[in-house]
Amino acid sequence: MSSVAFAGVSSISRIAISTGGGDAPGLNAVIRSVTLAARNRGWDVVGIRDGFNGLFLPEDYPRGGFVDLSRQAVRGISHLGGTILGSTNRGNPIAYPTQNDDGSWTEVDRSEELIARLAEEGIDALVTVGGDGSLKIANHLHERGLRVVGVPKTIDNDLDKTTATFGFDTAVDFASNCIDRLFTTATSHGRVMVVEVMGRDAGWIALHAGMAAGAHCILIPEIPYAIDVVAETVAERERNGSRFTVVVVAEGAVPVDGEISTIGKAVGQAVQLGGVGSKVAAGLTELTGKETRTVVLGHLLRGGSPTALDRLLGLRFGAAAIRALESGHDGVMVALDPPNVIHVPLAEATRKMKNVPLEGDTMLTARDLRINFGDRMPDVLP
């Protein structure tokens, strides 16, 4: 257990919580846990609407962008998907999208204003729940003097220094259920089904869901794929009497001599990934002559009720954040280090992303099962 800044056990009487970036199942469990653990210490708790937008656009919200988080307000919410506070990935306070008089947009650093606004409201500390973007913001605010603890959230599971993020298990569970269903229709029609899943630049969702459902090919950003290698698997299966093939593709998967597939980019937002599933399907049809269909699971992976595992992780993270604040820690992220929840400096946790380790046990298992990753395994070279 470590912390970059130990603020000393100073009194806290009021905290705020915000949820930022793409939502993930388990956010409401964190909100409930933070609220109850804080209230059980006699602290007051408020939520901030829509990431930090509630603070910047108080006139657009009731109660000036804050929500009183009473015990009643968080009753019975742990099993609900989404976030009762709302979220946004268009409200980065360090690069806040601001429209100029001529209609163009610039990004303005509004972090000092945010800190001042929290001080005006008598808030002693902030618990911020988010992915890499939100946690980098949290670290920036910490460096500017705000007392802050981060909670790692993302379906992508790509945050470093924590074994898992909440939301990932729910996404994998749902994706593998969908792939199960696609197996039956793929078998009936003797088709190739290509399933595109989220995950940004990491292949965690594709790998885990694909393996759990028994996919034949899994394409992940960590391994550039050659479409002819995937086509060989389809053709080989056909020769062996299996007329169908299921291919799972991570949205960030890249062909060996091509580029990541994107849909577009809005002001103040990260580039939107998508489209690789259709490209893979088109390539397979061309090379194998087989009928191919594409299914993009997209935001379905972020919706719905969290699994018990994600609810529990959210509850554990939320209470651990309050314990960290109570013991004087600042500028840290709570993290799963089985069997414990620890905390690590935000600066360390946000230094790099966590990709699928190619020599890890899960990948080795996949290789043993001869799942195709669109590359040529040395031991299966002709």
Q: Which is nearer to ligand F6P, 3 or 89 (CB)?
A: 89
Q: Which is nearer to ligand F6P, 22 or 86 (CB)?
A: 22
> In b/e form, how buried is each residue of 126-162, taking b as 16+ CB within 10 angstroms?
bbbbbbbbbbbbbbbbbeeebbbbbbbbbbbbbbbbb
Distance in Å, CB of 4 to ligand F6P, minimum: 25
Distance in Å, CB of 381 to ligand F6P, minimum: 34
Distance in Å, CB of 276 to ligand F6P, minimum: 12
Q: Which is nearer to ligand F6P, 200 or 343 (CB)?
A: 200
Distance in Å, CB of 34 to ligand F6P, minimum: 21
- Amino acid type, 282: A
Distance in Å, CB of 132 to ligand F6P, minimum: 8
Strands 262-264 and 272-273: antiparallel
In terms of Cα–Cα distance, which of 340, 333, 234, 222 is closest to 281?
234
Q: How far is CA 355 from CA 100, 157, 203, in A?
A: 38, 9, 7
Instruction: Please tell me which residue in 132, 156, 310, 330 is annotated as part of the active site.
Output: 156
Bridge partners of 325, per DSSP, are none
Contacts of 74 (CB under 8 A, 6+ apart): 28, 31, 32, 35, 36, 84
In terms of Cα–Cα distance, which of 252, 279, 284, 303 is closest to 23?
303
Distance in Å, CB of 300 to ligand F6P, minimum: 11
Q: Is 228 one of the catalytic residues?
A: no
Q: Which is nearer to ligand F6P, 198 or 248 (CB)?
A: 198
Q: Which is nearer to ligand F6P, 88 or 245 (CB)?
A: 88
Bridge partners of 130, per DSSP, are 152
Bridge partners of 196, per DSSP, are 249, 296
Q: What residues line the site for ligand F6P (CB under 6 A)?
A: 22, 89, 131, 154-156, 198-200, 251, 272-273, 302
Query: Residue number with the shortest CB distance to ligand F6P?
Result: 198
Q: Which is nearer to ligand F6P, 89 or 372 (CB)?
A: 89
Strands 148-152 and 217-219: unpaired
Distance in Å, CB of 275 to ligand F6P, minimum: 12
Q: Which is nearer to ligand F6P, 192 or 273 (CB)?
A: 273
Tell me the catalytic residues.
156
